[in-house]
A and B are shown apart, each in its own frame.
Chain A
Amino acid sequence: MQELLHQVLAGLATGGIYASLALALVMIYQATHLVNFAQGEMAMFATYLAWSLINAGMPYWPAFLLTVVLAFVLGVVIERVIIRPVENAPVLAVVVVFIALLVILNSVTGWIYSYTIKSFPSPFPAEPIFGQYVTSHQGGAIGVTLVVLLLLFLFFRYTPLGLAMRAAAQNPDSARLVGIRVGWMLALGWGLAAAVGGVAGMMVAPIVFLDPNMMGGVLLYAFAAALVGGIDNPAGAVFGGFLVGVLENLLGAFVIGNELKLAVALVLIIGVLVVKPSGFFGKVLVTRV
């Protein structure tokens, strides 16, 4: 029983990280109806930036904030420079651009920082502060995820800019008519997604260690989470994240063993896409032919 509780809590901790990344995916999907295959690599790159800052002697939390800002800028620049030209291109072109972005970020990071695995510090103390079932980093990661969620909710719900962004995502034409600069709203969306992804990267790095390929598996779980919750529903993505985290941990610990954990994500992704493409909370799309 204790073991079960321990696994559930550990699952919630990683689930929070999947939830953040899934949220980043959903934000971009809502605005552009595209799934960003490079989201994981963007988060990885931001985490390396944080590592550089911390290694240069900056304390953790200022480095954390600065990284979030840098990731935001990076996201905006990527949207403006790389994604913009293919905004209305066929799906294949867009997917290829995302893959190109993934490859470029991955190799540039490998080039600058080398492919050797690095350790990444956790801001939370080593001794458990949330009781014996969960390490303090796991507890802290859940806390950070919830704070990020709350901030995003407040931003989108109560600020004029958040409202403008939602309008631009929901109905670009009408939004443009009332004077919202839709192109910049998309860029801001990318920036926010990159920033949220950066937080996820910094939270997962102490667990999986820092290396250019660290986000491959995490991204897959985030895809699964976003799909389970419904790819156009932010709250669903968060729910999906926690669900996938717990499911992965329980199945890994008790049923199929750690080696096949990634297969859980694969089965979830294909299963949801085939059986219920809108996920638990997504909008059911009906196309007229």
Chain B
Amino acid sequence: MSRRQMIVVALVLLAACMLPFVVSNYRTFQFTLALVYAIALLGLNMLTGYNGQISLGHGAFYAIGAYTAAILMDQYGVPYWATIPAAAVVCLIAGFLFGLPALRLEGLYLALATFALAVSLPALLKYHHLEQWTGGVQGIVLLKPDAPFGLPLNPDQWLYFFTLAITVLMFVLAWNILRGRMGHAMVAIRDQHIAAEAMGIHTAMVKSMTFGISAMYTGIAGALGAIAIQFVAPDSFNIFVSIMLLVGVVIGGLASISGAIYGALFIQFVPNIADAISKAAPWAIFGIFLLGFVYVMPMGIAGAVRMAVARLTRKAQNQAAKP
């Protein structure tokens, strides 16, 4: 990381820490959800952006994470913070297992299989033999946790900081994975899988592991989302959750860590503005933005920012060079 990048990250973190003290509780809650989406998008971006495996079904892993957290809290009285690692492990395994058959599928077919997973998931969650755990159609209602250790924070603010801490942790982890051996292997497989294999990369292992890690990220996000919204139900995890995550990844920027943040802010706040027009408007806008980004800005917001910064610094250097 260059020095300038470090300064930017520090400033963003500082602003993020101040945020709950300057905006209302409801806005704090919305920013908590944006952080949750950022984690999920980072997970999907590792899979789709860096490894080139298209998933239209990450809503399913989001749902599995959410249900894991909800069932543990509701049935077994597990404290909320302990459900996060549990959701992570469950989704890591689920993702890895789904990634094994997915190995044989490329591009379009993987998209199809994951699409099928996402469409059929709500029906599976409603299955009556699972009802004693999942609560069936009714879903599960959760309680909002209070701030521990007598911290002078209300529940919304506490949850925001709790989510922020996990988000930072997950981003640092992702940054390390992606610039390390694993990350290079992922990109190599995306760009030239035969050459990657010839160089000794265990393609099958890396691909299923990426699927697992990606699902783990999304599952952690799902668990945090369930705690923040205090409610899970089958119909809130329909195909549109998966599509929303895809929208976030494409608009934020494929194969970019900061893209996850832009994408999360987009999918969290644009519907809020658009809701005023019509109930259908947010999705119409998502669709139009998706088309627009594919045609004109395939690198997403992150790519546009990168280009703008490059252009500005070049201009500044040129001016400095002139007498």
Contact = CB atoms under 8 A, between A and B. Distances in A.
Interface string B226-266: 00000000000011100100100010001000000000000
Given A92-B52, A104-B291, 8 more contacts: A89-B294, A91-B108, A92-B107, A100-B287, A260-B127, A265-B116, A266-B116, A269-B113
Given A262-B123, A263-B124, A270 B287 contact: no
Given A95-B54, A270-B101, A273-B105, A107 B287 contact: yes
A97 interface: yes
Interface in B274-323: 278-284, 286-288, 290-291, 294-295, 298
Contacts of A96: 246, 250, 290, 294
B284 A111 contact: yes
Nearest to A227: B112
B298 A100 contact: no
Nearest to B254: A92
Nearest to B104: A274
* Chain A interface SS verdict (over half): helix
Given A37-B115, A262-B119, A270-B116, A104 B288 contact: yes
Contact of B111 (A95, A115, A216, A259): A95
B284 A220 contact: no
B59 to A, nearest CB: 13
Contacts of A65: none
Interface string A158-194: 0000000000000000000000000000000000000
Residue with the highest number of chain B CB atoms closer than 10 Å, among A82, A89, A107: A107
Interface of B: 48, 52, 54, 56, 101, 104-105, 107-109, 111-113, 115-117, 119-120, 123-124, 126-128, 194, 238-240, 243, 246, 250, 254, 278-284, 286-288, 290-291, 294-295, 298
Nearest to B250: A96
A286 interface: no
Nearest to A260: B127
Interface string A74-105: 00000000100110010111011101111110
A223 interface: yes
A106 interface: yes
B239 A216 contact: yes
B101 A110 contact: no
B1 to A, nearest CB: 28
Contacts of B108: 34-35, 91, 95
Name which of B112, B124, B254 has the most chain A CB atoms within 10 A of its CB: B112
A104 B288 CA distance: 7
Interface string A257-289: 101111101100110011001000000000001
A270 B120 CA distance: 12
A91 B117 contact: no
Contacts of A106: 283
